[in-house]
């Protein structure tokens, strides 16, 4: 984790010291699938600065500064400085979202808007520094989205991450939060968690998001555990923990296929994820701990479109791709079930 944080510092520096962060570092085209990183000679390019990505990095660096304060205070200071520099960039660029021009690249483009990213950044900056301006920034943005916690979210809307930090604040001066914002977000989060728990209890496979199967829906199953855990922290209830366990059960084999969706973990796990190093390293087993995207009702690559069309083939990226925004919440969900978390 620290290796990646330190790499992000170099990405911020690549923007000329402004505090902004490039949207991505990429080759002009996707590398040959199955080529190991140390064998790939493709020239790579930093794109231009993106305000959404800058806000994400501000949030991550601010949180890292808290986590590393006791473990590595010198590094924590670097992370905080990066967060503050990035936040200054955001404050100086408050107009329409800035997105990099990637028309010469064919490796995908993601961010066009940034209010949710800025909201998350403000929450983490306040939690780390206690800056009243950051608190006001967060609360203004939270009110603008009607204090609504989404039961199902992904990279395109990271508001929930800011809401979690705000509601679980460990600051001694947490009483300075606007009571109306605290109350509204708490009510919305508990409503979302209750809905997830109720759906999980009645769904054939225990999925809190019900019978919705789309690109990366396994990630949504895992992410629902985040809202459930925050709800349990605010108002302990075994029902929330039961629901988290059902999400993990689904991902480890309680599903239509009677198969785990995580490589090298659980019963009859995937052997052929869409993951270049797993294919290219000449090792029979895939890299462990990779959560595949799962069934996608709109996919027709190898099977008819349906809710149960997952197939364990590396070439079927729309059902067997892996992504960090799916794997990370799976780690969160399993950690939530450890004795220390409960």
> Domain for residue 106, yes or no?
no
- Do 198 and 140 fall into the same domain? no
Return the CATH number at 211. Answer: 1.50.10.10
pTM summary value: 0.95
- Do 153 and 271 fall into the same domain? yes
Residue whose pair of structure tokens reads 């993951």 in the numeric block = 275
The three-class DSSP label of residue 91 is helix
Residue 292 pairs in a beta bridge with: 322
- Do 278 and 193 fall into the same domain? yes
* Residue 27 DSSP class: E
The three-class DSSP label of residue 322 is strand
Q: Print the domain residue range for 287.
A: 147-160+180-342
Share of the chain above pLDDT 70, in %: 99
> Domain for residue 313, yes or no?
yes
- Do 133 and 32 fall into the same domain? yes
- Do 205 and 285 fall into the same domain? yes
With a cut of 90, say whether residue 153 has pLDDT above it.
yes
- Do 263 and 135 fall into the same domain? no
Contacts of 227 (CB under 8 A, 6+ apart): 149, 151, 160, 189, 192, 193, 196
**Do 262 and 304 form a contact (C-beta atoms < 8 A)?**
no
- Do 340 and 254 fall into the same domain? yes
> Domain for residue 10, yes or no?
yes
- Do 207 and 124 fall into the same domain? no
The pLDDT score that the predictor gives to residue 108 is 83
Mean pLDDT lowest among 12-26, 101-115, 305-319, 322-336: 101-115
With a cut of 80, say whether residue 300 has pLDDT above it.
no
Q: Give the Å distances, CA to CA, from 246 to 15, 35, 201, 203, 319.
A: 44, 37, 8, 10, 21
Mean pLDDT lowest among 75-89, 238-252, 297-311, 320-334: 297-311
Q: Number of structural domains, the chain?
A: 2
> Domain for residue 102, yes or no?
no
**Do 153 and 160 form a contact (C-beta atoms < 8 A)?**
yes
- Do 137 and 189 fall into the same domain? no
**Do 144 and 103 form a contact (C-beta atoms < 8 A)?**
no
The pLDDT score that the predictor gives to residue 65 is 98
Share of the chain above pLDDT 90, in %: 85
> Domain for residue 105, yes or no?
no
- Do 268 and 188 fall into the same domain? yes
- Do 285 and 234 fall into the same domain? yes
């Amino acid at each position: 984790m620290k290796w990646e944080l330190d790499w992000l510092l170099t990405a911020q520096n690549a923007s000329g010291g402004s505090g902004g962060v490039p949207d991505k570092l990429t080759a002009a085209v996707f590398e040959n699938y199955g080529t190991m990183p140390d064998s790939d000679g493709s020239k790579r390019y930093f794109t231009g600065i993106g305000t959404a990505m800058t806000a994400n990095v501000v949030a991550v660096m601010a949180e890292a500064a808290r986590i590393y304060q006791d473990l590595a205070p010198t590094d924590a200071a670097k992370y905080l400085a990066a967060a503050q520099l990035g936040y200054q960039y955001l404050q100086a660029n408050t107009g329409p979202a800035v997105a990099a021009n990637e028309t010469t690249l064919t490796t995908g483009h993601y961010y066009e808007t940034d209010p949710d990213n800025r909201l998350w950044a403000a929450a983490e900056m306040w939690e780390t520094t206690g800056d009243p301006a950051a608190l006001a920034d967060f609360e203004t943005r939270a009110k603008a989205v009607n204090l609504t916690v989404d039961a199902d979210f992904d990279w395109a809307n990271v508001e929930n991450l800011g809401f979690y930090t705000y509601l679980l604040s460990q600051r001694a001066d947490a009483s300075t939060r606007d009571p109306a914002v605290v109350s509204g977000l708490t009510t919305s989060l508990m409503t979302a968690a209750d809905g997830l728990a109720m759906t999980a209890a009645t769904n054939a496979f225990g999925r809190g998001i019900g019978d919705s199967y789309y690109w990366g829906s396994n990630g949504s199953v895992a992410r629902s555990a985040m809202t459930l855990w925050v709800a349990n922290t605010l108002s302990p209830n075994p029902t929330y923990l039961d629901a988290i366990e059902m999400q993990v059960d689904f991902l480890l084999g309680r599903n239509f296929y009677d198969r785990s969706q995580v490589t090298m973990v659980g019963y009859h796990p995937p052997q052929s994820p869409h993951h270049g190093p797993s294919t290219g390293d000449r090792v029979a087993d895939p890299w462990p701990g990779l959560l595949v995207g799962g069934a996608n009702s709109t996919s027709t690559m190898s099977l008819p479109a349906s809710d149960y069309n997952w197939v364990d083939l590396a070439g079927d990226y729309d059902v067997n791709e892996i992504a960090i925004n799916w794997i990370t919440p799976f780690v969160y969900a399993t950690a939530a079930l450890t004795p220390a978390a409960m």
